[in-house]
Amino acid sequence: MKTFRLLSVFTLILALGVSVSSCKKVSDADLQKNAQTVLATMPDAAGVTVSVADQVATLTGTVKDDATKAYVESAVAGVEKIKSVVNNLEVVPPAPDYAALDAAINTGLTDALKDHPKVQATVQDGVITLTGEVKQSELETIMQKLSALNPVQIINNATVK
């Protein structure tokens, strides 16, 4: 009888203990998972990491602007049972993407320089660099053709004859 009582109390404590500790543990991990699920639906939050401790979510990583920073915070704050959010996100504006412009300029360069075989041009990040040799009389024509390709800058390193 005594043994039985002891055993049942022990079992109860064990059960309680396990349930309490497992409840707490699962809770933060679950919350973190839920927050990650929310973030996964946001393409702008690709650089964001979330961790949850004691139902407080902490955001780290980078976003492209302040609006995204605030938006990510509110989205995580909206996850059920998250008490508060510590927003440690850093705003890093993305470098402009010149790939499309460079491709368009590259296509245009072939046509623009067809009549000027001694001059070469390269483009990077929207900046056209001229090298080679150019006659004074054709320089303005070349500059006009290149300007029409709408570059960011034209650097004329060609030798003017």
Partner 1 sequence: MALTEKYKELIDVAGQYGVAVNDSGNVLKVDGSVPSADVKNKMWDIYSRLDPNFRSGDLVLNVKVDAPESGKVKVVTNESNLNIRKGPGTDQPIVGKAAHGDVITLVGKANDQWWLVRDNDGEEGYCYAQYLEPVQ
Q: Least separation, in Å, of the C-beta of 148 and partner 1?
A: 6
Asked if 110 is part of the footprint of partner 1 (rule: CB under 8 A), the reply reads: yes
Q: Which of 98, 75, 95 is nearest to 85 (CA)?
A: 75
Site residues for partner 1, 1-60, by CB under 8 A, read: none
Q: Provide the token pair at 22.
A: 């497992």
Tell me the Ramachandran region of residue 97: left when phi exceeds 0, alpha when psi lies from -120 to 50, beta otherwise.
beta
Q: Least separation, in Å, of the C-beta of 126 and partner 1?
A: 10
Q: Least separation, in Å, of the C-beta of 86 and partner 1?
A: 37
Contact pattern for partner 1 over residues 112 through 131, marking x by CB under 8 A:
x-x-----------------
Given 54, 90, 111, 133, the residue binding partner 1 (CB under 8 A)? 111
CA–CA distances in Å: residue 127 to residues 24, 80, 138, 152: 57, 50, 21, 5
Q: Least separation, in Å, of the C-beta of 155 and partner 1?
A: 4
Q: Which residues of the chain form contacts with partner 1 (CB under 8 A)? A: 108, 110-112, 114, 136-141, 143-145, 147-156, 160
